[in-house]
Amino acid sequence: MMTIRSKFRPLITAGFVLGVGLGGFFDGILFHQILQIHNMLSNILFPDTLAKVEINMFWDGLFHAFTWIMTLFGLTLLWKAVKNEEVPKDTSVLIGSILSGFGTFNLVEGIIDHQILQLHHVVQRATSPNQLYWDIAFLLSGIILIIIGTSLIKKNKLMQ
């Protein structure tokens, strides 16, 4: 028998996966392409020649491809959740899940790519101390989004 909380799981997972995808696209479009403050491997292969820019662009493209797959997977899960009559449809739960996924993207990508593997930093062109501040700000944005998202999910009376 499904409990009320577990009934929300398909909707929460769908929103979360969609949020991860949207977070990835936000990062890729704003930071990699519009502002061009970092690329996927810009800490390993600084893009100061045309060839290095192109190599970074290849890995940016691969990152976007995985982000696209996540978004498609999120849409599929959302469609399944919408079609399932047992799943309660709640806007605040869905938006909260999307924000949580977005925040998780920033947190996980920030820890793995910026801190552990050091593939790139948020602002690659800044001096080292500034790089750390931007990296920390990126991680904090993730934590804040997760807190807002979780509180929105818990706003639903059935989830309390």
Partner 1 sequence: MACPLCTTETGQEVRAGIFNDNFFSNLLAVILPFAVFALISIVLYYGLPLKKLSGKKEEEKNDDYTE
Judged by the rule CB under 8 A, the positions of this chain that interact with partner 1 are 6, 9-10, 12-13, 16-17, 20, 40-41, 45, 50-52, 54-55, 58-59, 62-63, 66, 69-70, 104-105, 108-109, 112-113, 117, 119
Instruction: State which residue, 71 or 130, has the beta carbon closest to partner 1.
Output: 71
Q: From the DSSP assignment, how many helices (H) and strands (E) are in the chain? A: 5, 0
Instruction: State which residue, 35 or 69, has the beta carbon closest to partner 1.
Output: 69
The token duo for 7 is 């009934």
Q: How far apart are the first and last CA of the chain?
A: 19
Instruction: State which residue, 45 or 145, has the beta carbon closest to partner 1.
Output: 45
For 59, which DSSP code? H
d(CA 108, CA 112): 6
DSSP readout, 80-143?
HHHH-TTS---HHHHHHHHHHHHHHHHHHHIIIIIIIS-S--SSTTS-HHHHHHHHHHHHHHHH
Instruction: State which residue, 57 or 132, has the beta carbon closest to partner 1.
Output: 57
